[in-house]
Each structure stands twice: as C-alpha cells, then as structure tokens.
Amino acid sequence: MSRRSYTKDCLILRPHEGHAVSDKKMAGTKLTDRKLAKFVERIVETYEGDSGINFIDAANLPVRGQILGILELLFEVLFPGHTGNKAVTRSNVRYVVGDILSQVYAELADQATRAYQYQCRIQKCGHCDCAKMGQSAAFELLGELPRIREMLKGDVHAAFDGDPAAKSYEEIVISYPCITAIAVHRIAHELHVRQVPLIPRIMSECAHAKTGIDIHPGARIGRNFFIDHGTGVVIGETTIIGSNVKIYQGATLGALSFPRDERGRIIKGGKRHPTIEDDVTIYAEATILGDVTIGRGAVIGGNTWVKESVPPGVTVWSPNPDLIYRKNKKPKTRTRPT
C-alpha cells in the first residue's frame, strides 16, 4: 500500500488521485487582485474600535522574541557553559560574563522602556521618564543575579536530594524542567516586584509552554524548592512558599471564586492564594485553594482537596477509594478455516 501524500492527509484532493476538479471551480478559487482587496477590507474592518489584540501604532510594545533572547543570555550567566553556545573557561570567564551582562543591560533596558511606554499609553500618563525607569530595572536585575544564583544552587541541590533517579547536578541543570521553570521564575519575579509591565509574564508563560509548569511571577518562593516531574503544577500570583518545600506533578496552589463588584467585574488584588510554610510536601494532583496556610512540616497527600488551613506537622489525605476487582474473561479461541 502506498504511503498517503501530505496533501491527501490535509484533505486536499488532487485530480491524479481519481477526483476530478472542474476548471470552473478552480477558476473560482483563484486569488485575483479584486478578491484579495475584498479579503483585506473584511479583515481590516474587524480592527476598528478594538483593543487588546491589536498592536497597530504601538511600536512601544516589548518584543517577545527579544525577551526570550534575554532569558537565554541570563541562563548563560546563571549556568555558565550549560547551553554550549559559549565556550567558558577559567581564563575567559570574566570576559564572557562581562560581554553577556553588557548585552543583557542594553537589550533589557530597551524592552523595559517599551513596556513602561505601553503602560503610560494605557494609563494616559505623560510625565514618566520611561527610559530612565527601564535602565533602572535592567541595572537592578543585574545586581540581583549573584543572589539568584545562590538560590538556584539550593534548588539544584534539593532536586538531587529529592529525586533518587538523579545521577548528577549536571543532569539536573541540563534536563530537569523544574530547574528551567524555577530559574525563569526567579528572574521574572525580580522584574515583577519592580512593577515592570508585561515582561515578567512573557517570561513566565515561556517557561509554562516549555515545561508545563505554571508559576505566576508574583509568587514568592523560598530556598531549596523542588518540583518533582512538574507537568501540570500551577502556582498562583499571591502564593507564598517557604524553604525546603517539595511539590509533585499536577498540584495546584490556586484561588477560590473571585468576589465581584456591583457591575459584575472581578475585584483584583489582595491575597487569594495559599501560604506554604517551610518543610512542606505536597503530593501529586493535590489542590489547595484560597488564602489558607499549610503549616510547617505538613504533608498534603495526593488527590486531596484542601480549602482550610492545615496545622504544622499534620498529614492530610483522602480516604482510599473502594476498588473493584473483576476477573478478566478468557478470549475466545478463533479457528481459521482450512
């Protein structure tokens, strides 16, 4: 049997495959200047009076590709040599780091300036020095990199201690999605607390798409943090996580239903996500909702649903489900005709 063609898989019928297409029908689908102009006009009409998904005349928006490039450069500083993009040796390390920091400062200052200009346009603010604010945000982030690196050392160590399958620190840094997500978060969080618009969320959603781990840049996370496996973990904006916390895949630190104003709009702001104290373990698919506190040393079992605070040193779990065992029927023996 011949392999199906790509065009046939895409449901495009071709004459040589036995389905005749009339010349009249083919002529009707030819893109003429008149038909192109009609398509253009119909699409442009949808731009009128709209905002949010239009970026027309908005040259001051940060560029997503540039932001991702800045993240790659920062990873070269936080984990020197791990990407292989730059050969780092003891003799050239100062030159390499200095070169990267200069590039990060220039590019991040430009993108942060664009983000502040966007915010000023939305808020109709005409007195902010957006360029100065962008340079300040970039400069302050560079000053935080040594502390971020020390935090990441603890995160890698926690992953090595918490995962019996881990063979080396290098394996964790190069391959574990949790380290990518946590490293991006620690960078994005510093920009978030400095109220840089857009860029922290672009960074966090990049990590979300890449790793399956969704951490809002507003979340505050302590030392030695480990997310095992990682896929499906959600950590909300006002979450506070202490030190030595371990979370398994599918866990959610989320919010309950949001209060609304008299016009039915969600009231934003305020603490609405959990506080996780030191030395807590949260197992797979656990859901913890609302402004509750999980006390120090507590263990939250898998598939639990928690909407109330948990005292320190307590284990929470759901009752075992009633399992039903049924003996499989033997498949019928089929005899082939002779």
Residue 231, domain CATH? 2.160.10.10
Domain of residue 125: give its range: 69-211
Tokens of 71: 């993240």
- Strand, helix or coil for residue 218: coil
Considering the domain architecture, whether residues 149 and 223 belong to the same structural domain is answered as no
**Residues across the chain:** 338
Range in 76-85, 94-103, 146-155, 192-201 the model is least confident about: 76-85
Establish if 150 belongs to a structural domain. Answer: yes
Could you tell me what percent of the chain has a pLDDT over 90? 67
Count of domains observed in the chain: 2
- Closest by CA to 137, choosing from 218, 98, 193, is 193
pLDDT digits 0-9 by tens, 265-284: 877 778 999 999 999 999 99
Residues 86 and 201 reside in one and the same domain:
yes
pLDDT at position 25: 63
Based on the domain organization, do 250 and 118 belong to the same domain?
Answer: no
Per the domain annotation, does 187 fall within a domain?
yes
Burial 150-162 (b: 16+ CB within 10 A, else e): ebbebbbebbbeb
pLDDT value for 13? 43
The predicted pLDDT at position 19 comes to 53
**Domain presence at residue 333:** no
Domain-embedded: residue 42: no
- Domain annotation covers residue 164: yes
Residues 228 and 287 in one domain: yes
Write out the H or E segment, with its range, that includes residue 214: strand 214-215
Confidence at residue 261, expressed as pLDDT on a 0 to 100 scale: 80
Half-sphere exposure of 97 (CA within 13 A, CB side): 13
- pLDDT for 4 equals 44
**Do 211 and 230 meet the contact criterion of CB atoms below 8 Å apart?**
yes
**193 and 244 housed in the same domain:** no
pTM: 0.83
* Top-ranked range on mean pLDDT: pick from 37-46, 82-91, 125-134, 164-173: 164-173
Report the distance separating Cα 243 and Cα 289, nearest Å. Answer: 20
Angle at which helix 130-162 crosses helix 177-193, to 10 degrees, equals: 150
**pLDDT of amino acid 81:** 85
Is residue 293 one of the residues assigned to a domain? yes
% of the chain exceeding 70 in pLDDT = 88
Q: Are residues 99 and 150 in the same domain?
A: yes
Left, alpha or beta for 224 (phi > 0: left; psi -120 to 50: alpha)?
left
Q: Are residues 248 and 308 in the same domain?
A: yes
Query: Can you give the CATH number for the domain in which 186 is found?
Result: 1.10.3130.10
Q: How confident is the model at residue 238 (pLDDT cuts 50, 70, 90)?
A: very high
What does the mean pLDDT of the chain come to?
Answer: 89
**Residue 273 located in a structural domain:** yes
Q: What is the pLDDT of residue 58?
A: 60
pLDDT for position 59: 63
Structure tokens at 163: 């995962």
Same-domain pairing of 122 and 169: yes
Same domain for 116 and 161, yes or no, is yes
Q: Report which of residues 41 and 336 the model is more confident about.
A: 41
Q: How confident is the model at residue 320 (pLDDT cuts 50, 70, 90)?
A: confident
**Considering the domain boundaries, does residue 180 fall inside one?**
yes
Please state the rounded mean pLDDT for residues 18-45.
77
Instruction: Say how far apart CA 298 and CA 276 lie, in whole Å.
Output: 9
Q: Treating both helix axes as pointing N-terminal to C-terminal, what angle do 199-211 and 93-123 enclose, rounded to 10 degrees? A: 120
* pLDDT at residue 73, rounded to an integer: 95
Based on the fold, state whether residues 171 and 233 are members of the same structural domain: no
- What is the reported pLDDT for 85? 78
Residue 194 has pLDDT above 60, yes or no: yes
pLDDT of res. 52: 62
Query: Taking a C-beta distance cutoff of 8 angstroms, is the pair 245, 227 a contact?
Result: no
What is the structure's pLDDT at 227? 98
pLDDT attached to residue 56: 64
Are 151 and 249 found together in one domain?
no
**pLDDT band at 136; cut points 50, 70, 90:** very high
CA 274/CA 271 separation, integer angstroms = 8
Q: Are 73 and 106 in contact (CB under 8 A)?
A: no
Please check whether residues 306 and 275 belong to one and the same domain: yes
